[in-house]
A and B are shown apart, each in its own frame.
Chain A
């Protein structure tokens, strides 16, 4: 996890002013030091909406392969948090939220895997680095993750060649945006950042995901070919 805080990202304090106005100083202080993951959407205030002159079916596959990895990332994150017992220790509204998001992301994984068929990539091995064991770190990471997903889908939805895929992506985009707003509201931070959600180019999303190091470089190798050295 790169420990970016809002303060790092919001150097001119624009967001902070908004948040101060909405929630007063106490919450604002929480947010100032809240780790916002890779910065997610917050940092992307200046990315111009790209218009796609060229789309292709091949590119559609790549977009959905990428989206599948992203859904794997999210689904595994919520699943692991639930398995760690972190969710059952939460107060009721928050536990409902955490379980709902997990159930949605797992449904997204299922359908995108189905759609990709043989083109679906293998599920990566994830290491959430201590962000699933405590409610506080889970919440912060969830906010960052949902914002980032929204930014990703905002960008790739109009980049899809097939209009039927565009229609499907719109239906996912708004759900991820709901997740993000819900997460923010529960975390006590402003649910809506601006009048428009800024898309993030895939390369930037990729850079942010890489900076979290959630996709583990250490894929465990627990099977080997070689002579046992047990006591026999």
Chain B
């Protein structure tokens, strides 16, 4: 087995003299002369990481609230049959779990759940499927966009949820006959861009 067993990420990075030079090389390659610190978000600035985490968590919580409610309604509205019905039930379960996980992290800092009005969207298979794709793609881009801004424990949570949102996105794309993995790397969206997508659905009541 020639795989480098020293790649164990967390606790016991086995130091080896052969790696020191390589490390320097990687540092040079990735970071360039400018240095890494300059490229990092201002974690040490005036913003407390904890409150920033809370804002980010509340941002994706809002998305998850919407998706959970949307899929739950779709799963029970009776307009979906076959695979779309199965998909709605599976996604309802997943997104509700995401809401719970985020609420668990946020505790008393969690924003209240918005109210939603999905109209006929949860009964119309075609429109439902297209909305799923829009929402899941937005979620993937949202998690990617904010993951690296978090403190480590929440970054861990984001990694575990982001990949599930990506699985959802690929699943619905394949159902729709679209490309489930159009690029070799997914790209981030800013919070504003994600919220614009939410906005456009018109699902949030009172907006």
Contact = CB atoms under 8 A, between A and B. Distances in A.
Contact of B26 (A57, A104, A157, A210): A57
A229 interface: no
Interface string B6-20: 111111010100011
Chain B: interface residue count, which band? 35 or more
Interface in B112-132: none
A192 interface: yes
A173 to B, nearest CB: 6
B29 A115 contact: yes
A227 B11 CA distance: 52
Interface of A: prevailing SS: helix
Given A51-B156, A66-B3, A163-B40, A59 B30 contact: no
Contacts of B168: 181, 192
Interface in B1-56: 1-11, 13, 15, 19-23, 25-31, 36, 39-41
B90 interface: yes
Given A61-B19, A108-B184, 7 more contacts: A54-B10, A62-B13, A69-B2, A116-B29, A159-B10, A179-B181, A185-B175
12 contacts: A55-B152, A61-B22, A63-B9, A65-B4, A100-B181, A108-B184, A167-B148, A181-B180, A195-B101, A197-B163, A197-B164, A203-B8
Interface of A: 21-22, 49-66, 69, 97, 100-101, 103-104, 107-108, 114-119, 121, 124, 150, 153-160, 162-168, 170-182, 185-186, 190-192, 194-199, 201-203, 206, 209-210, 215, 217
Interface of B: 1-11, 13, 15, 19-23, 25-31, 36, 39-41, 86, 90, 93-95, 97-98, 101, 140, 143-144, 147-149, 152-153, 155-171, 174-175, 179-181, 183-188
